[in-house]
Structure formats: structure tokens, C-alpha cells
Amino acid sequence: MIATSLLQIIYLIASVTFIVGLKFLGNPATARKGNLIAAFGMTLAIFGTIFLYQKDGENLHNLPWIFAGLAVGTILGFFAAKKVQMTAMPEMVSLFNGMGGACAMLISIIEFQHLSSGSLVGQEATVLIILVGMIIGSVSFSGSMVAWGKLSGNVKDKSFGKQQFINIGLLVVILALAYFTIMGTNADPSMLFYAVLTLSLLYGILFVLPIGGADMPVVISLLNSFTGVAAACGGFIYDNKVMLVGGILVGSAGTLLTIVMCKAMNRSLLNVLIGNFGGGAKGEAAGSSTFEGSIKEVNASDAAILMRYAKKVIIVPGYGLAVAQAQHVVHDLELLLESEGVEVKYAIHPVAGRMPGHMNVLLAESNVSYDKLVEMEEINPEFNSTDVVLVVGANDVVNPAAKTDPNSPIYGMPILDVENAANVIVNKRSMKAGYAGIENELFYKPKTSMLFGDAKKALTELVNEIKALG
């Protein structure tokens, strides 16, 4: 009795740490602390369950297997997180999320086996919760694995005729079989259950497969919310308060993040799921543009003069900055310009780097002050009074086509208004199209100059040239 009461207190403390940790994650300055607080709560809940949980007066069995699993998971997770590059963070999130969905799926399978060993009569509510957790967890697992493959470049966008109708039909069959499993028929309930499991895994694959690459971060966020709901179902099954609270928090946070990302692209979730935006088609090659004007190239020396004698410079970081691991060099550039009396800020688009917060974390690695990271809504009015904008590896988030071309797949997406600045310098490796697969009208504007090359190398040359100016 004492152990049970103590375990409930531990669950309450852990639940509070999840909420506090999530609150801290909302600010870059406190995000690390929030992560540690939530991790502490999870550790407390895990070990509290291992040593204090009792059922029918007995503690948990198979402790060696439990600790072996904890050890393997901890080691794999630690080294995976240590080795992952910032550019691979979206697929890492997708992979970890898929593991969460798999856990929820396995819990449902095990609990259904226990339940089906007796009579299912009178157990309809429990079977319903098990099936909901299994269906959502399975979809999250298989869908996340496809998303991970697409983001890592191992799986291509693939769609076929009537795929959306096939998906809807498959979902209807899954729900019908689940209904018959709950209500009971002459068919073997285990056979129905595993049919639902198989079709749910297939649905997860077909659900994600046709969605374009540029929309994958939205899909990852949506699948993350699915995993949270599946985990909450596990909390219902075991009457485990901390599992329920954690699942609800993950589910609601994933849903809110999905809404934020859709808003950042000015698109509905339905449009993301059926619009096939960002997939397949690539932009035209350099030299075949239909835009008026021509590409104007600038060297590091001329760019250095322009920035050194400016009063205000805004840096727009993008995925290319992360690929080149140039976050430390860009911070050196910022400090150098400030030492010369230049005001420097960073303009952060909500989905820059393909995931919300991606650029914030990247720049935090190089100790860029948080107050210099300015969100899109706040920084856009400042471009009119900016002497030079330096775009490093960003593309679609500064493409004027989002405002001017109704036929563009990114039309209506809020962007950074960099074209309003007096001068724009764009650092890119080449004229290759961005993540959405379309050309950028900004590159052909009279005020735009292209600084070609790897971001780290180009920025290092820029820093050296500014230093040489004295």
C-alpha cells in the first residue's frame, strides 16, 4: 500500500516535470534546461515503476530483461544523438518518433493477447482502447519509417492513380474490421486483430509515400501527435497516470506544431496531405529561367566592402548553412561586423532548415545571442531600413514567387521580405533549385548578387577580407 501511494506521488512529480519541461522548451534560452527537467521526470517514472509497481501484490518480474533493454536503448540513443549532424535532425526526429509508435503498437499486441486468452465478452471498452492504440501506433511507426527514408534520400516520392481513394478505402476497411473485433463475430478475433494490424502498417506507408519532400516536416509533426495519442491509450490500458499525461502532452504539442507549420506555409493540413506539394518536379536549370534580368555574381572582396561600410546587416540562415556546418563562422562574421560598428541581426523563418527551431538550435551551438534571433513577423518591417541582407543557404523562404506568382506551389506562403533591403547577397553552392523544386525570382533581381561556394569557405573568405580592410 505504501509502495503504491509512493508510486502515485512519483507519477505526479514526473507529470509536473513534463509540463514544466515543455514550457521551458518554448524559449531557446531555457530549452536545454527544459529537456533535462523532462528527462529527469521520465527517469524517475521509469525506475519508480520498476521498483514500486505492484499487481495482485507482486512486483514486476524479468528485471534482468528490463534493465538489459534499458541499457541497450540508452547506449544506442546516446551515441545516435551525439553523432547526428544538424542537417539530419529531421530524420532523427522521425526515426525516434517511429520507435515510439512501435512501442505503442507492441503494447497493444501484448495486451490483446492477454485479453483474448479469456473471453472478450464485457471487455468491449478495453478492446476499443487497445485497437485505437494499435492502429494509431502502427500508422505512426510505418509512416515515420517512410518519412525517415524520404528525408535521408533512400525513399523517393511515389504516387499512383486514385491513391487517395485507395487510402480512404483502406481506412474504411480497417475501421470495419476493428468494429467487428470489438463487437464480436463468428470469425476468430485474433485473426481480425492481426488483419487490422497488417492493414494499419500498410496504411501508414501509403499515407506518407505520395507526400512531397517539402511537406515532410509537417507530416513528421502530425505523426508525432499520433504517437502521443497512442501512448495515451497505453496509459488508459494500464491506468498509468504519467503515461497518460505524457501521451496527451506529446499529442497536443504535435498537433499545435502541425498547425503552426501549416500556418507558416499558409496551407491547410488537408492541402498538405493531398496536395503533393514539393514532390517530384524540380525547377528549371540555370540559364533556362523565364525571369527577367540576369544573374550578377560578386566575389568575397566586393561583398566584404559592402558589408564593412554598412550600418545595418541582416543575416538569413538556411539549410545550406547547416549542411556546411558554418554556424561558427557566421558568428565570427557577426562579431567582426559589430566590432566595426555595424548592427547585425538574424532573420528566422518558422520553417527555415526544414523544421521549426532548426536554425535557432544551430546558431545556439555557436553562442549567438538569443536576442539577435528575430522571428519573421518582427524582422520583415526592418528590411526596408537594412543596407545589406546576407542569405546563407536559404532559398524557398526568401522566394518572392510566394507573393507574386499564383501558379507557384509556394504561393501564399509567408516569406522573409529580403528584396526590400538596399542590397542582397545570396550565398549558394550553385543555381540548383531549393527544397520545393522551383527557381527563385530573387536571384534575378537587380539588387541581388550571388556569392557562390560552400557556405563555410565563402564566409571564411568574407571574414578574412573584412579583416584586411582594417
Find all residues with CB under 8 Å of 73, minimum gap 6, and list them: none
Find all residues with CB under 8 Å of 355, minimum gap 6, and list them: 89, 90, 93, 217, 220
Place of cell 488537408: 270
Angstrom distance (rounded) from CA 314 to CA 346:
6
The span from the first CA to the last CA of the chain, in angstroms, equals 75
Q: Is-catalytic flag, 396?
A: yes
Task: For residue 94, give the C-alpha cell.
Answer: 522521425
State the burial class of residue 105 (Cβ atoms within 10 Å of its Cβ: 0-12, 13-18, 19+): buried
- Is residue 262 within 8 Å of residue 414, measured between CB atoms? no
Instruction: Please give the single-letter amino acid code of residue 401.
Output: A
Of 248, 243, 237, 190, whose CA–CA distance to 55 is shortest? 237
Instruction: Please give the single-letter amino acid code of residue 286.
Output: A
Rounded to 10 degrees, what is the CA torsion of 77, 83, 85, 91? Answer: -30
Question: Measured between alpha carbons, how far is residue 3 from residues 16, 240, 282 in Å?
Answer: 20, 15, 61
Indicate the DSSP class of residue 162: T
H-assigned helices in 293-438:
300-308, 319-323, 327-339, 358-364, 376-379, 401-404
Q: Which residues pair with 344 in a beta bridge?
A: 313
Angstrom distance (rounded) from CA 327 to CA 85:
12
Select which of 396, 405, 417, 454 is catalytic: 396
- Is residue 376 within 8 Å of residue 349, measured between CB atoms? yes
Question: Measured between alpha carbons, how far is residue 219 from residues 21, 59, 162, 225 in Å?
Answer: 24, 40, 20, 10
Task: For residue 254, give the C-alpha cell.
Answer: 504535435
CA 327 and chain centroid, separation = 20
Angstrom distance (rounded) from CA 442 to CA 445:
5
Question: Measured between alpha carbons, how far is residue 301 from residues 168, 215, 418, 423 in Å?
Answer: 58, 38, 22, 15
- Is residue 231 within 8 Å of residue 247, measured between CB atoms? yes
> Which residues are known to be catalytic?
396
